Amino acid sequence: MNYFIGLDSGGTFMKAGLYDSAGELHGLAKVSASVITEKPGWVERNLDHLWSDACSAINNLLDTTDICPTKIKGISISAQGKGVYLIDKKGDNLRNGILSSDSRSLSIVKQWHQEGLNTEIYPTTKQTLWTGHPVSIMRWLKEHEPDNYKNVGAIFMAHDYLRYRLTGSVHAELTNMSESNFFNAQTSDYDKNLLSMFGIEEMWEALPPIIASDNLAGYITDEAALKTRLAPGTPVYGGLFDVVSTALCSGINADNEKLNYVMGTWSVTSGITDKVTQEEYNFVYGYHAIANQYIVHEASPTSASNYEWFCRYFGDENAFDHDTIAKEVTEVIDEEHDVLFVPFLYGSNQGLGLRSGFYGLQSHHTRGDLVKAVWEGILFCHNLHLNRMKHRFPNTDVLRVTGGPTASDVWMQMLANVTGMKVEIPNVQETGALGAATIAMVGAGDYADVVSAISHFESDVRHFEPQLSKKHYYQKKYARYQKLVTLFKAMEESKDAE
C-alpha cells in the first residue's frame, strides 16, 4: 500500500493528514496557525513560523502512526488562496506574508473601482478586484515599502511558499494563480498588460513558472527532511487552492448542479462548470483541478471565523462547550429573537470597508441570543452569495456543506431553514488535506486523474430538510438584516465624506 500526505494550510490551523491510496485516513495532526494584526486591516503571518507550523504538523503526524516515511510516495498542499508570500532576490524571506483577509490596500482598490478598472479587466481575468488579491497588495507595497518592492525575487501564495521550503524549487500552482489577476483566462498564462494596468509592471520577472495541480514540483531536500522527518527525495506535487480541494471532496461536479458551501474563515459558495458564460453579474471563474473545467464561486471572509472571534473574546475555549451552546440556541424562541449580528469582522460582502456589529442588544438577552444572532448573521452572508449563484446555476436544489460548523446539527438545520434547500453533509474528514493527498496520488500515478481517484473514495452523507414552518421567520429576519447592512453602508459613506 502506498501512502500520501496532504498538507492543509488554513487561516486557523495547519493540518497534515496521512492517507492510503483508497483515501482512508491513517493519521491527522494540526497546529494552531497564528496571525499578526499590528495595525487595523493588516493580517500577516511570519514566514518562518508558517514553515515551522508545517514541519510541526508533519512531525506530529508521523508520531501518530507507525508508517515508515519511505512508504510515503508523495506530498501535496492545499492552502488559502490570494495574499502574497514573498522571497527576495537571494531566495530568503523578504517580509511577513500578507493574507487574503488583509485590507491595507483598501484605498487603492476603491480608486481602481472609481476608475472602472474592475470592469475593464474582467473579460481578460474573469476576476473581480478586492484587497486580498496579489495585485492589490503588490501595488500597496510599491507605494509604501519601495525598498521591499525593489527586492522581490518571487511572488508566492501560501502553498507555493511551503512547496518552495520543502523542495527549493520556485513555482506557482495553476488553480490558485488563475485567480490572481496576474493571469489571462484566455491565454492561460501571465499577461504583461495586466501588470501595466495595475502599475506593477516591474514584477514581471518575479512571477514564477506555472505548474498544474498534479505536476511534479520537486523533491524533499535534505534540509527539509531534517525538519520534517520525511525521506529525502519524496516527491512533492503542485497542490491546489483550498476552495478547489473542498469542492472536489464535497462531491459536486459539472453534471449534478449541486453547490458546495464552505463554512470556515471564508463564506464560499462554489459550483463547477465546463462553460464560461457572460452574465449581468461578473462571476469569478478559476481553473479547476479537472481539465477543461472551471470553478465558479462567490466568497467573502464572513463565515465561521466570526464565531471563533466571539468564543475567544466572550469566554475561554473550555467555557464554550458546543453541545451546551446548541441547547441554549434552541431555547431561544424565534419570534421573540430580535438581535442581529453583521459578520464583517474580517471583511464585507456588501461593500468595501464595511464594519461589523450587533444590533438590538438589551440587558435580558442571554448567551444563547448572542450566539443565535452570530450564527444567523453568518448564514445570511452565505445566503447573499447563494442568491447570486442561483442565477448561474438555476437548477440547484442541494447544498453540499463542508467546514467546522457542520458538526452542529442545530446550525445545519438553521442553514436548511434559511435557504429553503436540502442540505447534505458528506462524512469526509479534512477536505483540504484529503484533496491535497488526492493530487499527490494522481501525480504519483496511482490514479489516472482526479475524477478516478475521487470516485474510489466512499463517504456517508447526513441530510437536513428545510422546515417550512420557519420560512416566514427567516424571510423577515433576512430582510431586517439587509436593512441593517444598508445603514452600515450609509455610516461608511458619511465617514468617507467627512
Specify the pLDDT at position 320: 56
Distances (CA, A) of 43 to 83, 132, 368: 10, 10, 30
Q: Would you kindly state where each structural domain of the chain is located, as residue ranges?
A: 3-238, 251-498
pTM: 0.89
- Can you tell me the distance from the alpha carbon of 150 to that of 90, in angstroms, rounded to the nearest whole number? 13
- Can you tell me the distance from the alpha carbon of 72 to that of 4, in angstroms, rounded to the nearest whole number? 5
What residue ranges in 157-230 does DSSP mark as E strands? 172-173, 183-184, 189-190, 210-211, 216-219
| pLDDT tens readout for residues 137-171 | 999 999 999 999 999 999 999 999 999 999 999 99
Backbone dihedral angles phi then psi of residue 353, each to the nearest 5 degrees: 80, 10
Q: Which three cell numbers stand for residue 346?
A: 474580517
Q: Which three cell numbers stand for residue 348?
A: 464585507
Residues sharing a CB contact under 8 Å with residue 150, sequence separation 6 or more, in sequence order: 202
Specify the pLDDT at position 319: 54
Specify the pLDDT at position 34: 87
Q: Do domains 3-238 and 251-498 have the same CATH topology?
A: yes
Specify the pLDDT at position 494: 82
Specify the pLDDT at position 316: 55
- The one-character DSSP state at 430 is -
Residue count of the chain: 498
Architecture of the domain delimited by 251-498: 2-Layer Sandwich (3.30)
Specify the pLDDT at position 278: 82
Query: At the top level of CATH, which class does the domain 3-238 belong to?
Result: alpha beta
Q: Which of 210, 174, 194, 393 is nearest to 292 (CA)?
A: 174
**Angle, CA 412 vertex, CA 408 and CA 414 arms, to 5°:** 120
**Angle, CA 293 vertex, CA 416 and CA 266 arms, to 5°:** 40
> What is the CB neighbour count within 10 angstroms for residue 126?
23
Which residues in the chain land under pLDDT 50? Answer: none
